[in-house]
Amino acid sequence: MIRYILKRFLMMLPVLLAVSFVVYFLMDLAPGDIVSMMAPQDATEAEIEMMREEMGLGGTLPQRYLRYMVNLLKGDLGDSLSMKRPVKDVFFERFPATLKLAFASIIVAMIISIPLGIAAATNHRSWLDGASMITAMLGLSMPSFWLGLLLIILFSLKLGWFPSGGSSGITSIILPAITLGAGQAGNLTRITRSSMLEVIRQDYLRTARAKGVSENKVIYKHALKNALIPIITIFGSTLGNALGGAVAIETVFSWPGVGRLTVSAINTRDMTLATGCIIMFTIFLTLTMLIVDIAYAYADPRIKAQYSK
Amino acid sequence: MNEKNLILDVKNLVVRYETEDGIVNAVNGLDLQIEKGKAIGLVGETGAGKTTTALSLLRLIPKPPGVEKCDFMELDELNMLDLSVKELEKVRGKDISMIFQDPMTALNPVFTVGDQIAESIHLHEDVSYIEAQKLAVGMLELVGIPGERANEYPHQFSGGMKQRVVIAIALACHPKLLIADEPTTALDVTIQAQVLELMKNLRKKYKTSLIMITHDLGIVAEICDEVAVMYSGNIVEKGTLEDVFNRTKHPYTEGLFNSLPNINDRKSMLTPIKGIMPDPTNLPEGCPFNSRCPYAGEDCAHPQVNRQISDTHYVRCSAYDRPGFHINRKER
Amino acid sequence: MITEKKYSIEELQAYKKRSIASEVWRNYKKSPSAMMGLIIIVIILIAAIIAQIIYDYNVDIVQQDMMNRLQSPSSTHFLGTDQYGRDILVRILYGAKYSLSVGIVSVAISCLFGSTLGLIAGYYGGFTENIILRACEVFMGIPSILLGIAIMSAFGQSLLVLMFAIGLVYVPMFARTARAAVLPVRDQEYIEAAKVSGVSNLSIIFTHVLPNSMSPIIVQITMGVANGILTASSLSFLGLGVPVPAPEWGAMLSSGREFIRDYSYLTFFPGLAIMITVLAFNLMGDGLRDALDPKLKQ
């Protein structure tokens, strides 16, 4: 088991390295770095380059990248131009908010999709099945930021039940979580339904009925536990989608997370901040997905058996 | 009929499935009586209606598309036709239980085998769950699996051992009647022998009545006291082992015996029964075996009735109304 | 007497191709939702093309008419006017061009590069497969929106770059799908036989491997268009996609935000347009998947 964890971890490192290079490379290509913005209007290219050298930002791309990575490993992501603070501080200040939103949205998604998927599967081909599938389809196809704005119109502006932005207290997380969750619920409902349809046909349910287990228990204990396996398997990528979707939602709801931070960093051409955000975001996402995968391997008896032998 | 001390008494069971492609007449007016403590083999080809009959006895036919009609069905003097869903759930697993054909898919992969046995005990006996788990370990040992394995999952067991677990689940509450639907078909021959041996011993221990559904006459000879031969949704011949094996009466039964390869006569050709079973969505009037029967006559086009040969033996064949009729198979 | 007709190999092969296609079409027609999706797409396409022809960008789309600003939906302006007095319906119809073209072109890019990479990875296996898989992992590790943002920053904001960015983002998905379709085929004995008889690898890929992987790739294409449209509009919403004042639907949503309190129709209609288009492609994708289903086994 430990070996499996170590192996996965080691395989992850070169991927992260490559990711950091790709992101750095792309962001580096973007016109306008700190120095050229700070330099006086009439400075020549040579003078700007000299300024870069002085500030430790000169050299060829590989040199700059190496320097960046060394600093990253030391925990230094540079300083944000727009916020006048170390990128690292700004990022970690905001990251928990994004995590909170992502997890809240997954909870919302599960609350919607699991019962709906079960209802659709156990009432296969009835109107309930059709209606659930149409709803799921709509959820999948809706732009999340549009749904967010619609919810703001209805619940914030017209009804005044929830705030339309900021992060003050429990109420402010509800609308963004529902928005983000609804989008994911579309896909999760479909998966729950098809998984449940698979499981319902299985022989072991007949064994349970022959034992005298009540129909309710057959569905909610015997069948459901099996049907949820695919959902749990994709929890990692669900989280990935949630974190990715948070970027737009944070903007809609002025939620103080790293998604909104990244977008405003780009809009203000604060490349150091933007680069740091995207790289850190990706690193954390990959790490989280690895942890989820390992936790799953640990929890599923079939996989656990493979690794303890 | 109560002097006979019956565990099961079924009269005129009819089961059909109403599907988009037609109405499948799976069981057509079946009568069945089993005495307490006896084992009866229910023999027939695939599609004869054996499994449907078994499921119907447990009231597990999926409705829709299944439609059931029965004049009389009593399990140890309990009227099965009148029971509510809750009452049925109490009876299943406790008074009557069933073993299915494929052990590989019969167990829930996400629960331990111990839990799956304990669930049955906990449902029907008045014990705590901890007690039930202890009893479950006992059952495991009884079927020849070390008790420590109770916390393992089905995928960690071989096919033969899985089937033992299934037997343990079925017998955990000492049911009065056990229905075994081809329990050894999916297993290797050597494992087959072990499982049959196990079933024989447990039957003796608990005095369980048994319906053994199989297409293998050898298994019937091994483990059963009586035989009922099913064809196209009905029993065409029923009697003791002696009756059916040595004093065969029905042409179909004869055909079954003839199609067994003869180990002593290696050179002889196999004689299968010509033709195939009639389409259950389009059953003929009269005897369903008519088109394949070497003794077919005019009387075969009329609806058939049971003809008593002896106290224990009856056959459903109108040919026996013809004077002097007998089949080719000799009596032993 | 039965008369025999001799068919040539070419005729038989042509018949086989034709009848598979018509079989799939017959299956597809059975689903009402799939047909609805197809009809909606056709309508949108036609409307988009007509809009391109009859509306002039400068006059109808961009030119401001402050006298008429912020009019609610009425008989002259069916969906109202925006804060610059421009007719929203006209802008939406014209803006279909951006969503559709990004969706289609980006998918073409992803499909071409991704499927090729996937086929190669699946077929050749070994080191090649490993490298391609790792590369896919790298690009899939970066959340698609952030990757899109990074590419747009690097190469500047324009319709072309947007197409390329989204195309790149979805390459790994196609690579995976193509590879997954190849894997069960590559170990078949008839492949072995073909190789042994000296058939070139390229030829094997095209005649044996590709036809079997067509079905999942086709489904992935429609899903790719749907996802591409969503991602493109998200990027434009954030101000990082097609530059203003182009009437891209996501961008329209974004600019309507400041008036959301009193003029909610500014945000409602463009979003509705996105949803209907994406829904149509999703329905079509589902319909294709079901119609191709028996074929998937072939």
The answer to whether residues B206 and B170 touch, using CB atoms and an 8 Å cutoff, is no
Q: Which residues contact C188 (CB under 8 A, 6 or more apart)?
A: none
Predicted local confidence at residue B4, as pLDDT: 67
Averaged over C97-122, what is the pLDDT?
91
- How far is it, in rounded angstroms, from Cα A1 to Cα A7? 10
Cα angle C52, C53, C58; round to 5: 65
Predicted local confidence at residue C296, as pLDDT: 41
Question: Which residue did the predictor score with more confidence, C167 or C182?
Answer: C167
**Contact criterion met (CB < 8 Å) for C253 and A143:** yes
Nearest to A148 by CA among A98, A105, A94, A194: A105
Which residues of B fall below an 8 Å CB-CB distance to A? 58, 60, 85-86, 88-94, 97-98, 100, 102, 105-111, 119-120, 123-124, 153, 155-156, 166, 169-170
Question: Residues C203-237: pLDDT tens digits?
Answer: 777 777 777 778 888 888 999 999 999 999 999 99
Predicted local confidence at residue A232, as pLDDT: 81
- How far is it, in rounded angstroms, from Cα C2 to Cα C88? 68
Say what the alpha-carbon torsion angle B86, B87, B90, B94 is, to the nearest 10 degrees.
-150
Nearest to C20 by CA among C294, C218, C209: C294
Using CB atoms, which residue from A203, A211, A229 is nearest to B92?
Answer: A211
Amino acid identity, residue B30?
L
Share of chain C above pLDDT 90, in %: 26
- How far is it, in rounded angstroms, from Cα C124 to Cα C169? 24
Predicted local confidence at residue C21, as pLDDT: 76
Nearest to C96 by CA among C279, C280, C273: C273
Residues of chain A with pLDDT under 50: 309
Beta-carbon contacts below 8 Å between A and C: 134
The answer to whether residues C103 and A141 touch, using CB atoms and an 8 Å cutoff, is no
ipTM at complex level: 0.85
- How far is it, in rounded angstroms, from Cα B53 to Cα B51? 5
Which one of B63, B110, B139, B213 makes the best mutation probe of the A interface by having the most chain A beta carbons within 10 Å? B110
Predicted local confidence at residue B3, as pLDDT: 57
pLDDT above 80 (res C153): yes
**Contact criterion met (CB < 8 Å) for B166 and A207:** yes
- How far is it, in rounded angstroms, from Cα B175 to Cα B168? 11
Predicted local confidence at residue A305, as pLDDT: 58
Q: What residues of chain A lie within 8 A of the CB of C275, using their CB?
A: 138, 141-143, 146
* E strands, chain B, in order: 6-19, 22-35, 39-43, 66-75, 78-79, 96-99, 177-181, 209-214, 226-231, 234-240, 307-308, 314-315
Predicted local confidence at residue A211, as pLDDT: 92
Averaged over C55-83, what is the pLDDT?
75
Predicted local confidence at residue A107, as pLDDT: 94
pLDDT above 70 (res C297): no
- How far is it, in rounded angstroms, from Cα A222 to Cα A214? 11
CA distance A193 to chain B (A): 19
Q: Do chains C and A touch (3 or more CB pairs under 8 A)?
A: yes
Chains that touch C (3 or more CB pairs under 8 A): A
Going along chain C from its start, the domains and CATH numbers come out as 87-296 (1.10.3720.10)
pTM above 0.90, yes or no: no
Enter the tokens of residue A305. Answer: 């058996």
Sign of the CA dihedral B146, B151, B154, B157?
negative
pLDDT above 70 (res C3): no
Identify the closest residue of chain A to C252 by CA–CA distance: A146
Calculate the alpha carbon distances from C113 to B181, C32, C229 in Å. 54, 33, 19
Using CB atoms, which residue from A27, A134, A157 is nearest to C154?
Answer: A27
The answer to whether residues C292 and C17 touch, using CB atoms and an 8 Å cutoff, is no
pLDDT in tens, chain B (332 residues): 455 688 899 999 999 998 888 888 889 889 999 988 899 999 988 888 899 999 999 989 887 788 899 998 988 888 888 888 899 999 998 999 999 988 889 999 889 999 999 999 999 998 999 999 999 999 999 888 998 999 999 989 998 899 999 999 999 999 999 999 998 888 888 888 888 888 888 888 888 999 999 988 889 998 999 999 999 888 999 999 998 999 888 888 988 888 887 777 777 777 788 888 888 888 888 888 888 888 888 888 888 888 888 888 999 888 888 888 888 877 77
Calculate the alpha carbon distances from C102 to C95, C148, C163, C285 in Å. 11, 13, 5, 18
User: Given phi > 0 = left and psi -120 to 50 = alpha, else beta, which region is C77?
Assistant: beta
Q: What residues of chain A lie within 8 A of the CB of C98, using their CB?
A: none
Question: Which residue did the predictor score with more confidence, A42 or C284?
Answer: C284
Question: Residues B39-72: pLDDT tens digits?
Answer: 999 998 888 889 999 999 998 988 778 889 999 8
Predicted local confidence at residue B262, as pLDDT: 74
Whether cis (ω within 30° of 0) applies to the bond prior to B64 is yes
Q: What residues of chain B lie within 8 A of the CB of A214, using their CB?
A: 86, 89
Strands B66-75 and B39-43: unpaired
